[in-house]
C-alpha cells in the first residue's frame, strides 16, 4: 500500500493544472457541487456479500456527491457514489453523458464509488455475472445526468485550494501471512485478529476549498474532499444488520462534516484492497464511530492546512 499515492494528490494535480497549462498568475478556482439521493427501494438485493441478500430496511440514504472545478481554462467533474462499484461500460457511458451536459470531454469526468457493501447490485461479480440490477442502473444514469444538469445554473464560488493529510488508525490488513507464506483471511478467523500487522495505508488525504477572501482556520471551507482506504463494512453485522441499506462510515463522515463545519463533503475511497475498518461487521454504532473518528481528524487537519 505504501506505493499507492493518495487519490487526493492526484485530484489536486488535476485541479491545479487541469488538462492544459494554467495561467501563471492564477490563484483560485471556481467550484459548484450537488448532492443527490441514489438509494434503491427496500427489498432490492445488496451486492456486498452473497446472492439473494435482500434488503429489509434502510438505515440511511445513499448519495451521489458531485464537485465541478473550473480554473478559467479547464473544467473537471468529480462524482462520488455510495455504491460497491460500477462496470467499465456503465462508467464509460455515464462519463460521456455527464460530459455532454457540461460541454467538456469525457476524460474530464471522474467517477468513483465509496464501495459500501450495503448498496444495490450495481456491478457484475465474477461469481455472479448476471447479478447486476439493470433497472437500478438505468435509473441511476437518469438521476445522475439530471443532477449534473443543475450545475449549469448553480452558484459558483471562487476558492483557494488547500491540502493537508493526517495519519488515522482506523483500518487494518485483514490477511495474516504465516512463515510458510500461507495466507489466512482474518475476517473469518477472528481469533487471529491480534496477529494482523500487515501493511496498511493510514493516510487521510484532504482537499479543502476555501472561499476567496476567507481565512483559515478562522473560517471553514465551503467544500471538503477526503480520501481514506477501508472497505465500508463496519455496519454490516450478522443478521438484520447485514440487510440494511446504508452508506456505512463514509455517510457518517459526511454527516459530521456537514453538521459541524457546515460545508458539503465528499468521501473518495482509497486503495482499500485488504484494508477494513477497526470495527468491521459490528453494526451501525461501529460505522458511526469510524466515520466520526475520520471526520474529527479532518477537522483537526483544517487548522494548519496549506
**154-165 per-position pLDDT tens digit:** 999 999 999 999
Given this model, what pLDDT does residue 9 score? 46
Residue 7 has pLDDT above 70, yes or no: no
> Quick one: DSSP state of residue 32?
E
Quickly state the pLDDT bin for 182 (edges 50, 70, 90): confident
Given this model, what pLDDT does residue 179 score? 73
| β strands within the chain, DSSP E | 29-37, 57-58, 63-70, 75-81, 109-113, 157-167, 171-173, 175-177, 183-185, 203-211, 223-228, 244-245, 265-269, 275-277
Q: Please tell me which residue, 265 or 179, carries the higher pLDDT value.
A: 265
Residue 245 has pLDDT above 50, yes or no: yes
Of 269, 227, 250, the C-alpha closest to 9 is 227
Quickly state the pLDDT bin for 286 (edges 50, 70, 90): very high
Residue 22 has pLDDT above 50, yes or no: no
User: Is the distance from CB of 293 to CB of 168 less than 8 angstroms?
Assistant: yes
Q: Report the range of poorest mean pLDDT among 76-85, 100-109, 188-197.
A: 188-197
| β strands within 153-219, DSSP E | 157-167, 171-173, 175-177, 183-185, 203-211
Mean pLDDT of the 15-36 span: 65
Of 110, 153, 152, the C-alpha closest to 18 is 110
Phi then psi for 217, rounded to 5 degrees?
-95, 10
Residue 210 has pLDDT above 60, yes or no: yes
Longest CA–CA span in the chain (Å) reads 61
Mean pLDDT of the 95-108 span: 96
CA distances from 136 to 10, 79, 122 (A): 31, 18, 8
Mean pLDDT estimate for the chain: 86
Read off the C-alpha cell for 73: 481554462
User: What's CA 169's distance to the chain center, in Å?
Assistant: 18
Q: Which pTM does this prediction carry?
A: 0.87
pLDDT tens digits along 137-154: 999 999 999 999 999 999
Describe the chain by its helix, strand, coil percentages, rounded to 5.
30, 25, 40
Quickly state the pLDDT bin for 51 (edges 50, 70, 90): low
CA-to-CA distance for 39 and 58, rounded, in angstroms? 9
Interhelix angle 134-149/88-102, rounded to 10 degrees, is: 20
Q: How many other C-beta atoms lie within 10 A of the C-beta of residue 219?
A: 12
Read off the C-alpha cell for 298: 479532518
Of 205, 204, 206, 200, the C-alpha closest to 276 is 200
Strands 75-81 and 109-113: parallel
Mean pLDDT of the 168-191 span: 78
Residue 135 has pLDDT above 80, yes or no: yes
pLDDT tens digits along 67-101: 999 999 999 999 999 999 999 999 999 999 999 99
Given this model, what pLDDT does residue 176 score? 77
Given this model, what pLDDT does residue 129 score? 65
Given this model, what pLDDT does residue 214 score? 79
Amino acid at each position: 500500500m505504501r506505493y499507492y499515492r493518495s487519490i487526493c494528490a492526484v485530484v489536486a494535480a488535476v485541479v491545479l493544472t487541469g488538462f492544459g497549462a494554467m495561467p501563471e498568475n492564477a490563484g483560485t478556482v471556481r467550484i459548484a457541487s450537488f448532492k443527490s439521493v441514489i438509494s434503491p427501494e427496500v427489498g432490492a438485493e445488496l451486492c456486498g456479500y452473497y446472492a439473494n441478500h435482500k434488503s429489509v430496511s434502510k438505515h440511511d440514504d445513499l448519495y451521489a456527491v458531485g464537485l465541478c472545478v473550473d480554473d478559467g481554462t479547464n473544467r473537471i467533474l468529480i462524482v462520488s457514489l455510495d455504491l460497491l462499484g460500477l462496470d467499465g461500460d456503465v462508467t464509460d457511458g455515464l462519463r460521456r453523458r455527464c460530459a455532454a451536459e457540461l460541454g467538456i470531454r469525457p476524460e474530464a469526468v471522474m467517477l468513483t464509488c465509496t464501495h459500501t457493501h450495503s448498496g444495490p447490485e450495481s456491478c457484475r461479480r465474477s461469481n455472479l455475472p448476471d447479478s447486476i440490477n439493470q433497472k437500478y442502473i438505468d435509473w441511476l444514469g437518469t438521476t445522475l445526468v439530471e443532477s449534473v444538469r443543475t450545475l449549469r445554473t448553480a452558484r459558483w464560488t471562487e476558492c483557494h485550494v488547500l491540502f493537508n493529510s493526517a495519519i488515522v488508525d482506523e483500518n487494518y490488513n485483514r490477511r495474516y501471512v504465516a512463515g510458510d507464506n500461507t495466507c489466512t483471511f482474518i475476517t473469518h478467523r477472528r481469533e487471529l485478529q491480534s496477529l494482523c500487522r500487515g501493511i496498511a495505508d493510514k493516510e487521510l488525504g484532504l482537499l479543502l476549498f476555501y472561499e476567496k477572501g476567507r481565512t483559515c482556520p478562522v473560517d471553514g471551507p465551503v467544500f471538503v474532499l477526503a480520501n481514506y482506504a477501508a472497505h465500508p463494512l463496519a455496519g454490516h453485522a450478522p443478521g438484520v444488520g447485514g440487510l440494511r441499506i446504508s452508506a456505512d462510515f463514509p455517510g457518517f463522515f459526511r454527516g459530521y462534516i456537514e453538521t459541524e463545519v457546515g460545508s458539503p463533503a465528499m468521501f473518495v475511497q482509497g486503495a482499500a484492497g485488504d484494508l477494513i475498518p477497526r470495527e468491521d461487521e459490528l453494526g451501525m454504532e461501529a460505522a458511526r464511530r469510524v466515520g466520526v473518528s475520520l471526520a474529527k481528524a479532518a477537522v483537526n487537519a483544517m487548522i494548519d492546512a496549506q
